[in-house]
Amino acid sequence: MWQRLSTYLYLRPKLILALLLLPPLLWFLVVYIGALLTMLVNSFFYLDGFTGQVVRQFTLSTYAKLLIPTNLQIFFRTAAMALAVTVASVIVAFPLSYYMARFASPRMKTFLYLAVTLPLWSSYVVRVYSWKLILAQEGIVSWFAHLIHLDGLLSWYLSSPILGGPSLSVSITGVFLVFLYIWLPYMILPIQTALERVPKSLIEASSDLGASPAQTFRNVILPLAFPGVIAGSIFTFSLTLGDFIVPSLFGNSSFFIGKAVLTYQGTSGNIPLAAAFTMGPIVIMIVYLLIARKLGAFDAL
């Protein structure tokens, strides 16, 4: 019986394809794509201010609300933070990735690889939590600053108007540091993968042809590492755009997109506005992903 079923299926590859593809496809179309579309539709509805009910009628007024200065500021602030985190993580990640790809012995590389992936795969919430411990007023940063007699500098920094705050754990700087810490491995690994693919002969050829190490770095290594940087930035940028945990735990009262969405959706039940808000990061990310695919970043994942 199995034999006959096997033969039956073997002769009908289209049927096998359908059997294989249908469950995941249906799941994603219904649960995910369907959900995204629902959200899109929702963003064209509006919340009646008097009744507090969502009115299911096509309108662009919800999108118009996005354009008021406070909300534009939220978009701008979030994008600026995402950009800052992305740039900083490229700078911090590059030396380590470069060392891993070019100089580390195989054993060393295994060790470093573990040291990068362990934080990545240990719990997100716990890693955020650890920074609560670190940045607290009585925590390790203050202790260390005191130890090297820099408490003056720390309190001077904290008293600065935009970046400072009552303590590091309630400031924009805190938000930035935690984001950088959390997403850094996502930048290290793709850059390292990309660098590892640079054939050694290419570097030798470059120096044979008279390039200085700096020139080789700029003209050979950096361009080849670029897809890795793009791949990493997809993660750092997108994850920062959509995160509400870190700003709500470390930030001052200023809103980020994630926090705004949560507030509109949660406390005021304004799903249309929350949905419209979410379209911002979606559009940004889809454009970003398409460009990244063009640049060949998916090969470096």
Residue 159 corresponds to which tokens in the numbers above? 């008293």
CA 106/CA 89 separation, integer angstroms: 25
**94 half-sphere exposure, CB direction, 13 A CA radius:** 14
Q: Are 225 and 193 in contact (CB under 8 A)?
A: no
Rank residues 164 and 272 by Cβ distance to other proteins and give the closer one: 272
Rank residues 146 and 160 by Cβ distance to other proteins and give the closer one: 146
Q: Which of residues 232-251 bind other proteins (CB under 8 A)?
A: 234-235, 238-239, 241-245, 248-249
DSSP letter (8 states) at residue 212:
-
DSSP letter (8 states) at residue 17:
H
Binding-site member from 12, 15, 21, 73 for other proteins (CB under 8 A): 21
Check binding of 217 to other proteins (CB under 8 A): no
Q: Which of residues 127-146 bind other proteins (CB under 8 A)?
A: 127-134, 136, 138-140, 142-143
Residues 6+ apart with CB under 8 A from 54: 42, 45, 46, 47, 48, 269, 270, 271, 272
Q: Which of residues 59-78 bind other proteins (CB under 8 A)?
A: none
Q: Which of residues 79-138 bind other proteins (CB under 8 A)?
A: 92-93, 95-96, 98-100, 102-103, 105-106, 109-110, 112-134, 136, 138
Rank residues 130 and 226 by Cβ distance to other proteins and give the closer one: 130
Check binding of 148 to other proteins (CB under 8 A): no
**One character per residue 275-294, x = contact with other proteins (rule: CB under 8 A):** x--x--xx--x---x---x-
Residue-by-residue DSSP string for 92-106:
HHHHHHHHHHHT--H
Q: Which of residues 179-198 bind other proteins (CB under 8 A)?
A: 181, 184-186, 188-189, 192-193, 196
Q: Identify residue 85 by its one-letter amino acid code.
A: V
Q: Are 140 and 216 in contact (CB under 8 A)?
A: no
